[in-house]
């Protein structure tokens, strides 16, 4: 089951790391490319250290005064996360946004770079946001849509390239047990065991990095759950779950992909559907019952072009599925089938 997970997911919208690069320099100087950029409600926030680096200024955090001090030709300048102004010498300059600590680094907004940075270096600056596409997503799209476009809209999907890396969201964890079988066996245990086996098989056979949202039994923050897809080399995202039915007869793997509406932003063929097709075929080859592929506007599937499939790996309420989900042999069979589907997807991508 995924409903609790979805609502937690929504919490994440405001601060997420993204693959949005900017270029920055004093005008006439070769620009520096900065990639540790966070978006907050569509506005890029860049680490102040990186910004100063790009314009050859030096600064430091004064933990006593709780301000960031910058040495400039016009005297010491000060910025503080609590203040909506830039102080240079005795003068104050209003800011549109306060500097913010995000992910442990003090960051300034794009507006600071465009409006106040030149004050610090006494000359105009060159600035370019290399991912303006994000901003182009029409404004009436909810923050949710923009977030997912971001996260799941990989900036450089290289057609015809083999998979470079895989992200796996391991369903539930900690107090969030997921579905329980009649004897108390927990969905969170099945997703973790299968994710570990899949990760090992992928690394051993394809030699590519695999990023798990969790690698033990603990609860995840919404941010931690999404962290695996932030890795540049991730070319496919699998969300592992198992479900329960009202009767013991319901059984089989169910694959979920984004609905066509959610996919209208993506370029080219529907890569998620291609991945799901490969997974379906490999489950069938492994004689694992599959219900089919359902396209659904399920929130975690989001929008964009990153090949993404949510796998409900069977019913904990069905004795046969339960045995496959909890036994070492059954888990390895499931992991092997998923691996085979990914490998075929990778190979067929290469041919495109």
Three-class secondary structure of residue 126 per DSSP: strand
Query: What distance in Å separates the CA atoms of residue 215 and residue 313, rounded to the nearest whole number?
Result: 18
CB of 172 or CB of 197, closer to Zn ion: 172
For residue 147, the minimal CB distance to Zn ion (Å) is 21
Q: Tokens in use for 46? A: 């860049």
Q: How far apart are the first and last CA of the chain?
A: 35
Query: What distance in Å separates the CA atoms of residue 339 and residue 332, rounded to the nearest whole number?
Result: 10
Query: What distance in Å separates the CA atoms of residue 228 and residue 220, rounded to the nearest whole number?
Result: 12
Query: What distance in Å separates the CA atoms of residue 102 and residue 312, rounded to the nearest whole number?
Result: 34
CB of 208 or CB of 325, closer to Zn ion: 325
For residue 213, the minimal CB distance to Zn ion (Å) is 13
CB of 187 or CB of 277, closer to Zn ion: 187
For residue 190, the minimal CB distance to Zn ion (Å) is 10
CB of 1 or CB of 294, closer to Zn ion: 1
Residue with token string 């200024």: 57
Using CB under 5 A, list all residues that contact Zn ion.
1-2, 171, 178, 241
For residue 187, the minimal CB distance to Zn ion (Å) is 5
Burial of 66: CB neighbours in 10 Å, binned 0-12, 13-18, 19+: exposed
Residue with token string 């030096």: 58
CB of 2 or CB of 311, closer to Zn ion: 2
For residue 292, the minimal CB distance to Zn ion (Å) is 18
In angstroms, the Cα distances linking 108 to 23, 54, 116 are 15, 14, 10
Three-class secondary structure of residue 13 per DSSP: helix
Residue nearest to Zn ion (CB): 241
CB of 178 or CB of 330, closer to Zn ion: 178
For residue 172, the minimal CB distance to Zn ion (Å) is 6
């Amino acid at each position: 089951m995924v409903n609790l997970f979805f609502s937690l997911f929504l919490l994440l919208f405001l601060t997420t790391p993204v693959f949005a690069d900017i270029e920055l320099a004093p005008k006439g100087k070769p620009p520096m490319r900065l990639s540790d950029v966070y978006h907050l409600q569509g506005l890029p926030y860049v680490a102040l250290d990186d910004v100063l680096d790009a314009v050859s200024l030096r600064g430091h955090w004064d933990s006593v005064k709780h301000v960031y001090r910058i040495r400039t030709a016009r005297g010491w300048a000060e910025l503080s996360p609590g203040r909506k102004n830039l102080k240079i010498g005795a003068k104050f300059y209003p800011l549109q946004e306060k500097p913010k600590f995000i992910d442990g680094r003090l960051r300034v907004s794009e507006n600071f770079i465009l409006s106040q940075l030149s004050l610090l270096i006494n000359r105009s600056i060159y600035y370019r946001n290399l991912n303006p596409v994000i901003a182009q997503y029409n404004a009436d799209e909810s923050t949710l849509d923009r977030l997912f476009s971001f996260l799941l809209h990989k900036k450089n999907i290289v057609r015809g390239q083999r998979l470079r890396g895989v992200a796996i969201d391991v369903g539930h964890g900690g107090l969030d047990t997921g579905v329980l079988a009649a004897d108390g066996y927990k969905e969170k245990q099945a997703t973790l065991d299968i994710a570990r086996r899949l990760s090992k098989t992928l690394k051993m056979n394809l030699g590519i990095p695999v990023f798990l949202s969790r690698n033990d039994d603990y609860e995840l923050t919404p941010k931690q759950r999404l962290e695996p897809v932030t890795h540049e080399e991730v070319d496919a995202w699998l969300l592992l779950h198992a479900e329960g039915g009202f009767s013991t007869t319901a059984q089989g793997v169910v694959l979920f992909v984004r609905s066509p509406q959610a996919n209208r932003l993506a370029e080219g063929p529907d890569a998620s559907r291609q991945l799901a097709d490969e997974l379906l075929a490999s489950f069938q080859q492994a004689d694992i019952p599959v219900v089919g592929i359902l396209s659904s506007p399920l929130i975690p599937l989001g929008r964009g072009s990153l090949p993404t499939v949510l796998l409900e790996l069977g019913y904990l309420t069905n004795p046969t599925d339960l045995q496959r989900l909890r036994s070492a042999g059954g888990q390895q069979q499931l992991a092997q089938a998923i691996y085979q589907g990914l490998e075929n997807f990778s190979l067929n991508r290469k041919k495109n």
